[in-house]
């Protein structure tokens, strides 16, 4: 390994001080060495002094880049003020100093990542770099100083312009400065590259506008020798010429004496040579061009070929530049907080899949808690994904700490095993996160896995006692006896809080023990899958386990005899309960949700009303206006936020996760400490301060409300907090897309209000509506041009709002793009995967029938599961213990209804359910074929399957129809079929779960008692098989009182929903149109027929949904009328369906004078309640999409999304 500092003094570590380790050549004096040493220390990379110098050079370079074009193209070389010349000379000196300092700037070597401090190497590297030649060129203008002293200030116009142009080469140094800023910022943590790149793009855009705006102004006025002839000569020399300065009304209002002296306000504002206004209007022109606003008040006046060509280049550059801003803004929104954003999107997909699988709330809540714990500890990434791709050596180093925990287990103790044995076992450990109230140890089951508590604790219970009998704390273990000997658990373990458990599953342990090269354990039996008691480690394990169980049952006996004794101390450690004193608001309190909503309203009211009032009082020149009713609302919200601050300091309990333990903090000192260290406190302290008290003495009340606007910084965080509280308190999920839309909508309102308020304050003659109109045309880059700036102040404001508007529009476009890109991303993956697989099949000349089945499978996943890959969810998105719970939920109904397994041991059932393999068969696909004997059992989760028997003539005749939760081919688990006794074909798209014979045998090996009873199942199996083959079973629920029902998948209901959608769209289009434009039209028979035909169809729809439309409940078809009615009522749709059917127009017949019903407009007004049906349009569109997909009509997803957006725009415009 290389030393941090070599003897030659050329390389040092990045954190080493130069004052103690630098050795310089002894040729110079001690004073020179000290000076040089100090200079090198100051210019050391990633130091604040070096960064400060780069900031100085950055602003100097920026000033030079902006002012140089102004001096050349707007002011002219002979009309530059002496102050600007002096500043230019100072800039030249700074450039020279920077060129000299580069000889003494240490740098970081790219290979060693060490700082090079040798002056020889620094000089050599600098002289061979491009920066040296650029610095030499940029320092040439310093020669202007001796030229000025010798020849005077205005010695030669050509030479002056040459020096000015040479200065512009310094622009190439911006890249170096940006790299320095980026490296310095990365010291505090990783930076968001997209955000940094966005800052660079916006900076370059404004620099481009300043430089090329000045150049274009000079180009457009190059035909005139003097653009500032004075007020006396303006009319004679410029007025009749086609120039920019004569066609721009803002400039003419200042330069033309006949205009500026005849202003109605009597305050002439004439200026013979308004250089600042020239610059502002040129930047304003380029801003319109680049950002595609195009007001039209600043245009190309002469239409000369050169000007037109340059303007076209600007427009092309603007299109590409604006596209670059939008593209990078999309990258910013995709990568800002990318880890958390990705986690939230994955959780949204997981929740969608759980909803599709009808997972109970307990499982969903447990998964949420587990992943939120992972989010706090490792950004929500599972361990198997976190360490995927790491070399074995690094993996061993990471898991080395687990060896210490394994040494406590008697069987694995170093006294009996080698270090290699421990190392290999540690690699097989799986870390599990158990949320509060999770069952870790299942009592009475053969749960063959070793469990080690790494963090948290596990409470132990027994059946005969309801109290905790012992507790496993950190480093304790359990399950070594079941793992080695196949015994059942005698206790039940529940995690009271979050617990991190290291688990050694039996399958990994068995695989390791079956390894023929292993010599540590000779007593392992591969037949019985147990360890012999002859092994000393196994004997020690049995002794320790028996001793622990004796202690537990002794404690249970004492409890039963009412003897109070302490619990087993070597296995239990009780934490003291925190006593709550005073008011505390717990994290699960519903008050938090309502409080967040009130806070959002308060922030928005303050942020909207203050700018509007400020603009109003500015226009009236009366900032000292008296307190009005609006201020009482301000004060009410002030009281609200004061209460909020008090509650955060004294009452808001919070949850902390330390050392893997979840704990609710209710101690007031800790609550205050947490609040004072949060980013909320400084903002609240500024916003809550009573500035209004000063207004009673000084007046100008509205000015003292401005500091309150700082609370706007709370807005995004408050929306995110509302999303979290909705999930915790009400179990209502707000996905990340909806949260982003809400934030974007609120920010859009604020930007529009603030922009219009500023314009309204500047334009005294324009109303508030016109100000909003101008703000929207500017922010959206529409730029009609009927409202434009009229003076320098308005021009500056328009430039600023135009730049903000371009970024604002780019943000909205990027956000919408990101929204549609992220909407069901898995669908895009499914499409891509399907295309790739089909392409592969076609290139390898596979049969068309196989290609068809593959296409049908992917279309089924896309249609029924919204493109979510269930295999990916189960095997990559869920940890193994949660995956087991989800699989048990999915397969429990099927397995429990099978007499083979319904009365088996719970542990056997649990492992059986998690061993099933999902298989999909499209309609009319063969499941059991004549050629390939079946080697496993099938359970039907969804769909319909026909069993077929072959006649002597070779024909297949169906003799049995099976539905949901039925099963078949069970004989093949115990018998090896040489040929299939019957065939099986899917009638509809079917989801089956398959139990392989070999998997079943391995499972039976772990449960020998269950395997011994297989012979007893033979008569049950035969009897069951006989009855199944002879009895016809209808698909769906055969019980209940439903005589007639409509299947949700038949063609009638699919066409019916299409008809309902058509009537809803007709209602949505005609009622607003007739109310707005048909005031003098009589209501005709055709209108009555159309309207009441629609009402009749909607009434039939209400009846069908209330009594006849069956539905699926976790793949089970529900046909009972009572359940259909309850399902429809609880869905919430019945309310607005009934509201839309109320004939309000009939009530108006009692007042024919006030309500002339023969007028179509009034008729439409009383039918507005029909628009309640609009709430169902998204669901109807989804139903129609699904129906088209089932009919084989495949519409590209992007086309559907674009069509939805266009429809929303058209309908919104129609309503407005």
What is the rounded distance in angstroms from the CA atom of residue 908 to the CA atom of residue 980? 28
Task: Report pLDDT for 274.
Answer: 82
- Would you say residue 471 has pLDDT above 70? yes
CA angle, 482 then 484 then 488, to 5°: 15
Contacts 24+ apart (CB under 8 A), 896-902: 897/965, 898/939, 898/967, 898/970, 899/1020, 899/1024, 900/970, 900/1017, 900/1020, 900/1021
Lowest mean pLDDT among 387-396, 816-825, 901-910: 816-825
What is the rounded distance in angstroms from the CA atom of residue 981 to the CA atom of residue 1141? 58
Task: Report pLDDT for 994.
Answer: 92
For residue 932, count CB atoms less than 10 angstroms from its CB and return exposed for 0-12, middle for 13-18, buried for 19 or more: exposed
Tens-digit pLDDT profile for residues 915-933 = 898 888 888 888 988 888 8
- Number of neighbouring beta carbons within 10 Å of residue 55: 13
Higher pLDDT pick, 261 / 487 = 487
Q: Say how many CA atoms lie within 13 Å of 839 toward its Cβ.
A: 6
Which residues neighbour 697 within 8 Å (Cβ) at sequence distance 6 or greater?
A: none
Lowest mean pLDDT among 439-448, 625-634, 644-653: 625-634
What is the rounded distance in angstroms from the CA atom of residue 467 to the CA atom of residue 1100? 58
- Of 922, 918, 919, whose CA–CA distance to 989 is shortest? 922
- Of 63, 42, 38, whose CA–CA distance to 53 is shortest? 42
Higher pLDDT pick, 623 / 224 = 224
What is the rounded distance in angstroms from the CA atom of residue 1041 to the CA atom of residue 1108? 12
Tens-digit pLDDT profile for residues 574-586 = 334 445 566 788 8
Are 450 and 477 contacting, i.e. CB atoms less than 8 angstroms apart? yes
Tens-digit pLDDT profile for residues 273-296 = 788 888 888 888 888 888 888 777
Q: How many residues does the chain have?
A: 1216
What is the rounded distance in angstroms from the CA atom of residue 599 to the CA atom of residue 254? 49
Task: Report pLDDT for 268.
Answer: 52
Centroid of chain to Cα 779: 26
Report the 3 state secondary structure along 412-453. Answer: HCCCCCCHHHHHHHHHCCEEEEECCCEEEECCCCCCCEEEEE
Average pLDDT for 657-666: 64
- Would you say residue 345 has pLDDT above 80? no
Tens-digit pLDDT profile for residues 421-432 = 888 888 888 888
For tokens 């072959």, name the residue. 950
What is the rounded distance in angstroms from the CA atom of residue 644 to the CA atom of residue 621? 35
What is the rounded distance in angstroms from the CA atom of residue 180 to the CA atom of residue 1146? 76
Task: Report pLDDT for 269.
Answer: 62
Question: Which of helix, strand or coil describes residue 807?
Answer: helix
Higher pLDDT pick, 185 / 303 = 185
Helix-helix angle 1197-1215:792-822, to 10 degrees = 130
The DSSP 8-state label assigned to residue 579 in this structure reads P
Question: Which of helix, strand or coil describes residue 850?
Answer: helix
Task: Report pLDDT for 1111.
Answer: 80
What is the rounded distance in angstroms from the CA atom of residue 321 to the CA atom of residue 206? 12
- Would you say residue 834 has pLDDT above 60? yes
For residue 65, count CB atoms less than 10 angstroms from its CB and return exposed for 0-12, middle for 13-18, buried for 19 or more: middle
Lowest mean pLDDT among 248-257, 405-414, 491-500, 1003-1012: 1003-1012
Higher pLDDT pick, 157 / 1112 = 1112
pTM above 0.75, yes or no: no
Confidence of residue 937 (pLDDT cuts 50, 70, 90): very high
What is the rounded distance in angstroms from the CA atom of residue 928 to the CA atom of residue 909? 25
Q: What percent of the chain has pLDDT over 70?
A: 78
The DSSP 8-state label assigned to residue 1046 in this structure reads B
Higher pLDDT pick, 369 / 501 = 501
Are 908 and 1003 contacting, i.e. CB atoms less than 8 angstroms apart? yes
- Of 124, 106, 101, 125, whose CA–CA distance to 116 is shortest? 106
CA angle, 187 then 814 then 328, to 5°: 40
Task: Report pLDDT for 301.
Answer: 57
- Reported as type and span, the H/E element at residue 947 is strand 945-950
Task: Report pLDDT for 568.
Answer: 38
Q: What percent of the chain has pLDDT over 90?
A: 4
Lowest mean pLDDT among 322-326, 590-594, 832-836: 832-836
What is the rounded distance in angstroms from the CA atom of residue 520 to the CA atom of residue 851? 52
- Would you say residue 1151 has pLDDT above 70? no
Higher pLDDT pick, 777 / 30 = 777
CA angle, 373 then 377 then 383, to 5°: 90
The mean pLDDT of the chain is 77
Average pLDDT for 203-209: 89
Task: Report pLDDT for 1024.
Answer: 39
Tens-digit pLDDT profile for residues 92-106 = 888 888 888 888 888
What is the rounded distance in angstroms from the CA atom of residue 887 to the CA atom of residue 884? 5
Average pLDDT for 1196-1202: 63
Are 475 and 531 contacting, i.e. CB atoms less than 8 angstroms apart? no
| Beta-sheet pairing, 530-531 with 524-525 | antiparallel
- Would you say residue 667 has pLDDT above 70? yes
- Would you say residue 938 has pLDDT above 90? yes
For residue 471, count CB atoms less than 10 angstroms from its CB and return exposed for 0-12, middle for 13-18, buried for 19 or more: buried
Are 492 and 441 contacting, i.e. CB atoms less than 8 angstroms apart? yes
Average pLDDT for 724-745: 78
Tens-digit pLDDT profile for residues 750-775 = 999 999 999 988 888 888 888 888 98
Confidence of residue 953 (pLDDT cuts 50, 70, 90): low
Tens-digit pLDDT profile for residues 1042-1098 = 457 887 877 788 888 889 888 988 888 888 888 877 777 777 888 888 888 999 999
Query: How far is the first Cα of the chain from the last one, in angstroms, to the nearest whole number?
Result: 73
- Reported as type and span, the H/E element at residue 624 is none
Which residues neighbour 943 within 8 Å (Cβ) at sequence distance 6 or greater?
A: 921, 964, 986, 987, 988, 989, 990, 991, 992
Which residues neighbour 816 within 8 Å (Cβ) at sequence distance 6 or greater?
A: none
Are 990 and 920 contacting, i.e. CB atoms less than 8 angstroms apart? yes
Confidence of residue 1132 (pLDDT cuts 50, 70, 90): confident
What is the rounded distance in angstroms from the CA atom of residue 157 to the CA atom of residue 160? 5
Are 482 and 534 contacting, i.e. CB atoms less than 8 angstroms apart? no
Average pLDDT for 827-837: 65
- Would you say residue 438 has pLDDT above 60? yes
Lowest mean pLDDT among 263-267, 289-293, 489-493, 1212-1216: 263-267
- Cα torsion 140, 142, 146, 152: sign: positive
- Would you say residue 265 has pLDDT above 70? no
- Number of neighbouring beta carbons within 10 Å of residue 1080: 8
- Number of neighbouring beta carbons within 10 Å of residue 271: 16
- Would you say residue 525 has pLDDT above 70? yes
Confidence of residue 632 (pLDDT cuts 50, 70, 90): confident
């Amino acid at each position: 390994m290389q030393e941090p500092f070599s003897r030659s003094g050329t390389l040092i570590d990045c954190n080493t001080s130069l004052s103690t380790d630098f050795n310089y050549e002894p040729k110079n004096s001690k004073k020179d060495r000290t000076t040089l040493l100090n200079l090198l220390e100051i210019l050391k990379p990633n130091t604040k002094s070096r960064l400060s110098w780069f900031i100085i050079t950055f602003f100097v370079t920026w000033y030079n880049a902006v002012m140089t074009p102004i001096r050349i193209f707007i002011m002219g070389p002979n009309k530059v003020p002496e102050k600007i010349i002096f500043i230019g000379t100072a800039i030249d000196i700074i450039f020279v100093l920077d060129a000299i300092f580069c000889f003494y700037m240490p740098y970081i070597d790219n290979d060693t990542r060490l700082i090079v401090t040798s002056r020889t190497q620094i000089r050599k590297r600098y002289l061979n770099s491009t920066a040296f030649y650029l610095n030499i060129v940029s320092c040439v203008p310093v020669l202007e100083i001796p030229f000025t002293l010798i020849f005077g200030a205005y010695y030669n116009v050509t030479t002056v312009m040459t020096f000015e142009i040479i200065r512009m080469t310094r622009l190439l140094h911006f890249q170096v400065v940006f790299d320095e800023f980026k490296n310095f910022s990365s010291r505090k943590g990783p930076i968001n590259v997209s955000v940094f790149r966005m800052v660079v793009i916006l900076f370059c855009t404004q620099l481009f506008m300043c430089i090329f705006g000045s150049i274009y102004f000079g180009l457009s006025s190059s035909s005139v020798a003097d653009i500032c002839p004075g007020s006396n000569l303006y009319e004679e020399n410029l007025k009749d010429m086609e120039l920019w300065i004569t066609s721009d009304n803002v400039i003419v209002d200042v330069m033309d004496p006949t205009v500026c002296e005849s202003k109605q306000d009597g305050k002439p504002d004439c200026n013979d040579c308004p250089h600042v206004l020239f610059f502002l209007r040129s930047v304003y022109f380029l801003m319109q061009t680049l950002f595609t606003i195009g007001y039209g008040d600043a245009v190309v006046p002469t239409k000369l070929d050169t000007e037109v060509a340059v303007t076209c280049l600007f427009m092309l550059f603007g299109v590409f530049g604006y596209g670059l801003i939008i593209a990078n803004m999309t990258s910013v929104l995709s990568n800002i907080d990318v880890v958390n954003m990705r986690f939230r999107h994955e959780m949204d997909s997981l929740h969608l899949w759980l909803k599709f699988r009808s997972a109970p709330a307990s499982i969903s809540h447990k998964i949420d808690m587990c992943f939120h714990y992972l989010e706090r500890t490792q950004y929500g990434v599972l361990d198997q994904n976190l360490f995927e791709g790491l070399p074995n050596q690094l993996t061993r180093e990471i898991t080395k700490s687990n060896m210490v925990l394994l040494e406590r287990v008697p069987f694995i103790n170093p006294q009996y095993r080698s270090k290699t044995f421990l190392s290999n076992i540690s690699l097989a450990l799986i870390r599990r996160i158990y949320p509060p109230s999770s069952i870790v140890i299942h009592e009475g089951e053969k749960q063959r896995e070793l469990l080690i508590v790494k963090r948290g604790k596990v409470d132990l219970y027994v059946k005969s006692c309801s109290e905790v009998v012992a507790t496993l704390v950190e480093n304790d273990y359990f399950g070594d006896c079941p793992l080695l000997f196949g015994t059942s658990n005698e206790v039940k373990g529940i995690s009271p809080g979050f617990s991190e458990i290291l688990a050694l599953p039996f399958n990994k342990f068995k695989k390791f023990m079956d390894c023929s090269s292993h010599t540590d354990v000779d007593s392992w039996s591969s037949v019985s899958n147990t360890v012999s008691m002859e092994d000393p480690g196994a004997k020690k394990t049995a002794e320790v386990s028996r001793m622990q169980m004796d202690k537990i049952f002794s404690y249970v006996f004492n409890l039963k005899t009412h003897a109070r004794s302490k619990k087993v101390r070597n296995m239990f450690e009780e934490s003291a309960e925190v006593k709550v004193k005073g008011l505390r608001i717990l994290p699960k309190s519903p008050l938090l949700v309502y409080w967040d909503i009130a806070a959002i309203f308060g922030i928005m009211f303050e942020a909207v009303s203050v700018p509007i009032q400020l603009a109003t009082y500015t226009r009236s020149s009366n900032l000292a206006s008296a307190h009005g009713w609006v201020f009482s609302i301000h004060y009410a919200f002030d009281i609200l936020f004061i209460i909020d601050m008090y509650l955060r300091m004294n009452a808001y309990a919070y949850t902390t996760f330390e050392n893997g333990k979840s704990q609710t903090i209710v101690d007031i000192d800790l609550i205050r400490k947490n609040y004072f260290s949060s980013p909320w406190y400084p903002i609240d302290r500024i916003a809550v301060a009573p500035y209004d008290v000063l207004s009673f003495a000084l007046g100008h009340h509205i000015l003292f409300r401005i500091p309150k606007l700082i609370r706007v910084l709370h807005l995004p965080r408050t929306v995110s907090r509302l999303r979290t509280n909705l999930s915790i308190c009400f179990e209502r999920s707000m996905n990340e897309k909806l949260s982003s839309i809400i934030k974007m909508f609120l920010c859009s309102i604020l930007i529009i209000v603030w922009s219009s308020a500023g314009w309204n304050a500047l334009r005294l003659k324009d109303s508030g509506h016109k100000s909003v109109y101008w703000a929207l045309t500017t922010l959206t880059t529409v730029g009609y041009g009927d409202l434009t700036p009229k003076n320098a102040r308005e021009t500056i404001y328009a430039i600023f709002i135009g730049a903000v508007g371009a970024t604002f529009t780019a943000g909205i476009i990027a956000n919408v793009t990101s929204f549609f890109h992220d909407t069901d991303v898995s669908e895009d993956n499914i499409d891509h995967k399907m295309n790739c697989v089909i392409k592969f099949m076609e290139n390898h000349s596979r049969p068309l029938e196989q290609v068809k089945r593959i296409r049908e499978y992917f279309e089924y996943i896309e249609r029924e599961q919204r493109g979510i890959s269930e295999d990916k969810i189960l095997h990559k998105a869920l940890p193994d213990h949660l995956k087991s719970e989800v699989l048990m939920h999915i397969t429990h109904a099927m397995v429990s209804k099978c007499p083979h397994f319904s009365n088996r041991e719970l542990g056997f059932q649990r492992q059986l359910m998690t061993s099933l393999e999902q298989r999909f068969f499209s309609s009319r696909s063969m499941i059991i074929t004549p050629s390939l004997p079946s080697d496993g059992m099938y359970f039907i989760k969804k769909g319909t399957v026909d069993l077929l028997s072959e006649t002597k003539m070779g024909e297949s005749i169906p003799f049995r129809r099976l539905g949901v939760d039925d099963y078949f081919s069970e004989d093949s688990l115990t018998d090896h079929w040489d040929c299939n006794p019957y065939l099986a074909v899917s009638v509809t798209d079917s989801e089956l779960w398959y139990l392989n014979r070999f998997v079943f045998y391995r499972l039976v090996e772990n449960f020998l008692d269950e395997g011994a009873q297989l012979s007893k199942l033979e008569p049950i199996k035969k009897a069951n098989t006989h009855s199944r083959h002879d009895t016809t079973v209808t698909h769906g629920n055969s019980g209940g009182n439903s005589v007639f029902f409509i299947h949700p998948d038949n063609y009638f209901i699919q066409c019916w929903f299409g008809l309902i959608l058509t009537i809803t769209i007709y209602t949505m289009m005609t009622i607003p149109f007739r109310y707005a434009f048909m005031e003098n039209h009589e209501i005709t028979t055709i209108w009555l027929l159309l309207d009441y035909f629609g009402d009749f169809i909607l009434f039939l729809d209400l009846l069908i949904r209330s009594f006849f439309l069956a539905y699926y409940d976790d793949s089970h078809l529900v046909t009972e009328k009572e359940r259909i009615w309850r399902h429809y009522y609880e869905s919430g749709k019945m309310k607005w369906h009934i509201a839309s059917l109320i004939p309000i127009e009939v009530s108006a017949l009692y007042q024919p004078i006030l309500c002339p019903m023969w007028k179509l407009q009034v008729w439409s007004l009383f039918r507005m309640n029909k628009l309640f049906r609009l709430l169902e349009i998204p669901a109807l569109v989804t139903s129609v999409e699904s129906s088209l997909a089932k009919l084989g009509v495949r519409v590209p997803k992007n086309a559907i999304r674009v069509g939805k957006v266009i429809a929303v725009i058209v309908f919104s415009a129609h309503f407005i």
